[in-house]
Structure 1
């Protein structure tokens, strides 16, 4: 069964004014539109257009709770939970620096906060559920900018040398700030991040604030703006405008600055510190709301818990190359069973995707016709449908692009 679903974009302040409306073919609301959630997450479950298709349920969460076997199939129905959440994300400005826990960390953290009696909606609550939250983002806009993972240490040293050259040519040199930063870097990335966050926030701020101010000044220099790391220094300047004085500004220089072109993807595993900066993307993640923040935000930052969750191993930008199993199909398959994303563009012919469980299809650009083993549906630009697992496959025809989110084989096998 193909069940039409819809939702309203969430109006977080960092959202774009036009990007989601443009994708949907709708008139802009006039305010920021940040994320369109398509899934059963209780924070914003997708609404069912025709409740009669779902036993009278008004949204996916209600339907799954009432009839998990029909909505999820026999493999997932006993858990009564859709393991993934599909989002259309539009960043008009930078999101907070953040990381997500492993499954074991999430279970332990959730149990600990439950035992301590921390209200689920408390300002300082870290764990809203017992699940991990790996994420996949695929660029839909021509460019999508992000920070993701700690840079190789050689790059960090090169950036520090550029800052020293800029400081030496400054009208008022202050090498002490860079000396202080280097001392912490020599002690390790974890020491540096902890010092910046503890010393650079709140009322009792210390020397980290001076370092942030100095790095922002030097990032505007000719040496920085004409260097091989010009994009990273430009990001420092941009972040200082959005979050003046925030220690996350300096942390950004420790991270990979990534630019995705349309159709390129990043996979953010547990422990990866990241922030989306600008652009429109399809985001697919495990259905969780566990976020440990690390700067660029007025929200709560639990430094100790963040340090436990973060993976400080330097890496290259964690791009995920798609498989191309058949003409018109590109499959993004991360190393977790919770989700798989297919981008299907059939062109003049037809393309098909085999399903291992339920799926959600979001259509981009132009209408498509969908067919499974039991039913069919015509889906317009910007519309979405939930696909029950008894369809077993989705055949796509038409001029549009079908983004198909579904579960991995291990998840469907339980």
Structure 2
């Protein structure tokens, strides 16, 4: 078992309070803190307490068969197939979608690393540990038309009317909005925001979504992404609720605090609310307007163990009550103690974890029992 030293990222959209507060550091933090990574991703591998001082990416690379297990290597290659994070946006993250493995692989055959840097999908699951506001999945054409009528913004109404009769009207509206000439974007978005200020007074789901768009406009003025948000479902996840986001699902995480687990991939395409590269043609190629995030709560897997179902074959997140054996003993595992004081014990040794501490369990660790008190999450490879 390896105690991990996680990596804090300081993206501009991060919170000055959330991660520092979890870790018991002074708040506000000097810089915005967006993510706390616990994994073996090469862009921010967690440290380990091995004598040679290797980070987790180096540990796995040195002996993939031992650390991951032969079955995991055969299925997913010689990298840890998942990454565990604490995600803490203080402002909206870019509107984005991820390709399927086939879409990424096909494009890389002709463009190399120009758009995608690996052949993997990047499914992700977000579990709220504090209220978490998101826009995930696209509304159908009828919902968008109803919103356009209530907003009464001519440019949006024209986009909706122009999409009538298209094979996929929701996709056609998205394409029309994203095709807005640069010289017209500011006026279009300002009209939409004015309309959203008015709609935000309405006591319904559209009113709540409109209020959220107005708040995002404070952070991203004159961004075409503000219009795109209105084409998407708005949700606030309560603590204990999760959403599973598969390939092709349009999404933007607005603000909150959560645990995120995702495939160990960097494949992402953005459409707005970002200073990073936007690739509208590729986003329109991979986005699936009919695909939505799957929301829910954990389901009992065994006594004292609940899981958060995902469509991904790369990861499965569990919550485990102390006094139980950890699931997934035939593959690699990441263990995260959100709060508490727990002990991990196996035939090979033991490790204590406190608040916001984590550990990597290699495939050959065997059975591991959890004792103590606390809120503990475990990531495993499905079927191992």
Question: For the superposition of Structure 1 and Structure 2, which TM-score range results when normalised by the shorter chain?
Answer: over 0.9
Q: Do 2:248 and 2:291's aligned partners in 1 also have CA atoms closer than 8 Å?
A: no
Give the corresponding residue for 1:32: 32
Give the Cα–Cα distance (whole angstroms) in 1 for the partners of residues 290 and 62 of structure 2: 44
Question: Which residue is 1:15 aligned to?
Answer: 14
**TM-score normalised by L of structure 2:** 0.92
| 2-structure distance, mates of 1:231, 1:94 | 16
User: Pick from 245, 253, 258: which aligns with 1:276?
Assistant: 253
The ranges of structure 1 where at least 4 consecutive aligned residues each deviate by more than 6 angstroms after the TM superposition are none
Deviation at 1:350, TM superposition (A): 4.1
CA distance in 2, matches of 1:399, 1:180: 58
| SS of alignment partner, residue 11 of structure 2 | coil
2:93 corresponds in structure 1 to 95
CA distance in 2, matches of 1:57, 1:68: 18
How big is each residue's C-alpha offset from its partner over 1:182-201, in whole Å with a ceiling of 9 and x where there is no partner? 32443422222222223254
Matched, 1:383 2:353: no
- The answer to whether the Cα contact below 8 Å between 1:332 and 1:342 also exists between their aligned partners in 2 is yes
Partner of 2:290: 313
Quote the residue 1:181 is aligned against: 159
Give the Cα–Cα distance (whole angstroms) in 2 for the partners of residues 352 and 87 of structure 1.
19
Shift of 1:283: 0.4
User: Gaps spanning 5+ residues in structure 1: where?
Assistant: 115-119, 165-174
Match of residue 196, structure 1, among 173, 177, 196: 177
Q: Secondary structure at the match of 1:58?
A: coil
**1:40-88 deviations in Å (ceiling 9; x for gaps):** 111111111x222xxx351111111111122112223463211111111
Q: Give SS of 2:295's match.
A: coil
In the alignment, what sits opposite 1:325? 301
Does the Cα contact within 8 Å between 1:375 and 1:391 map onto a contact in 2?
no
Alignment match, 1:408: 382
Shift of the alpha carbon at 1:107? 1.2
Of stretches 191-200 and 175-184 in structure 1, the one that deviates more from structure 2 is 175-184
Other-structure match for 2:230: 253
Residue 138 of structure 1, CA deviation: 0.1
The Cα RMSD (Å) is 2.0
* Per-residue CA distance 1:237-270 (angstroms, 9 max, x = gap): 1121111111110111110101111011000000
Greater mean alpha carbon deviation, residues 132-141 or residues 371-380: 371-380
Q: For the Cα contact (< 8 Å) 1:326–1:351, is it kept in 2?
A: no
Give distance in 2, aligned partners of 1:69 and 1:235. 47
Which whole-Å CA distance do the structure 1 matches of 2:136 and 2:95 have between them?
Answer: 9
> Would the alpha carbon gap of residues 183 and 5 (structure 1) be closer, same or farther in structure 2, given more than 3 Å must change?
same
The corresponding residue for 1:60 is 56
